[in-house]
Chain A
Amino acid sequence: MLLEDLINGLLFGATYSLVAIGFTLIFGVIHRLNIAHGATIMVSAYAGAAVSILLGGKSYGALLAAFVASVTTGATLGILIERVAFRPLKDAGYLAPFATTAGITIILEELFLKLSRVVPIFHPEYTPFPSPLEDLSFHAGPIYLRGVYVVIFIVAIALMAALGFWVDRTRSGRAMRTVEQNPLVARLMGIDVGRVELTAFAVASGLAGAAGCLIGVSVGTVGPFMGTNLLMISFVVIVLGGLGSIRGAMVGGLVVGVVESMTVSLLSARYKQAVLFGLLFLVLVIRPEGLLARRAVVRD
């Protein structure tokens, strides 16, 4: 039973990794938190659900179209958020984008609350996200697995691998890492910093879109406030893994998934957040730079 909890925690944790990677990618590049990341997940999930509903929802073709719609919506929204909430505030204080993206979150949540009442294919509280994966489950020996979690895990790992390849091996990925380390030096080297930032937003928000679709499929519904909780969890994930560390976010998401799963199994769902934040507290005390971040070198 514990093995089943461990495996299910790992599988579902991959979604947290996907959410957190986008969150930390933006932080790594512009050193600001994008609070609208959760709302991006929500809007993308709605886009995927709408496409799935309109295409009948039970075929793999519809699911693929929904996934593409979610990723595209996420990336587009990310670009808009960068243009509206970050770029005009480049020289403003550290907390300014925090406020603007929090405002965008509220606007998007309330907009979708209203839309869910007037768009005929949506429902007032929760809108279904039909998919052929929802009822899929199987046993691997004594272990019960939900098919959708396995798919989420595979897709999330594939996306993370693609992201890793892009960051490490491509010219634009290396440009992004240069901007991450020192925007001034990057500019002096002829890198278009603004373009790199925009690309980071598009990629990070595209990943948020993918996460939105996968979460919507696993739950079977989407709702206007689904992003809020995910944002909080991804904040824990990126602090655990190390702010700005993509690998840290990958591992952190899996750790959080397992911790949640084990807590529910061994204690109760009501202690989930207490255990999670207790763990966060411990990490901040023992290794404040996060589990996988490089320790800062202090020179004399």
Chain B
Amino acid sequence: MADLNGRGQLLLLGAFALAITLVALTVALTASNYTGTLATESDEISQGGHTIAVRESVERDIERLIVRANGGETGRSPRETILSSAVPVIDEEVAAHHGDDGRRVSATLTGSPFTPGVRIKQTGSGSEPFHDPVDSDPKWRLASSTNVRNATFVLEKQPSPGVLATDPDDGVTLVLGDWSADTAAWEVTLFRDGTDWKLRVTGPSGTSRTCTRPVPITGAEMTVDIDAATMDGDPCQALAFLEPTSTHDIWFENGNAVRGRYWLTVEGTQSSIGRTYSSDNADDVLYSATLDFRYVSSSVIYETDVRVVPGELS
């Protein structure tokens, strides 16, 4: 019996060691499996990407509202009323759509959420030079110490070419800079080179970029959308180079060297931009709106002001 007991203890020892080994192996394999789960789990929401997507969605909605209010109403106050009544609806929709799983999402207007703007324009049916609407001066200041957005030129192509200058120094130029010192930070110049129209953007360091478009046979107009960085509907990399980072005086030079229409929106009121326009040449609009955006979940807390400016050059 003593012999049998000794042999049994050895077997027991072996079985015990095997059990311990299996437990350790199980721990390692379970951890390995957890790693796979951690690596492949779809956690866009806990990672914060969802927060950015929701914020951008709200920004797009407010942008559309500002564009619609500026286009469909007259005067700044009715435009503000449209946004004031529509933003709570967006807030409810955002909260209902994204507020599941314990998340709380809100977008509200607080304090003084609207920034006034002035849309300066020459949008009559006739095709005119880009000169001063009062005294026809080809070099004239549109606004002082301000930001600008939604700058668009619509140039006549036929029957006569809308861009007249063949020398860039004589070409119509939109300047962002210091008017009193006559120094430019940014310049957007249009000129003609043979059968091509060229657009040149010059930055503060003197570096310039140019894009070229042949004047199409068909169509009566060419649109230069400075915010969208397109010329005749196609991307213009020179315009993507335009990135003013502070307020500037804004003026045209060689305004008689072009025929067409233009419009742009500057930040402020007619008194703050130092220029009073007739109703034919300016509208009082909304420049921007500021929202209080909050996104709170178990993994993300994000509270910020969101300034919405459709098409600002920056």
Q: Do A and B come from one complex?
A: no
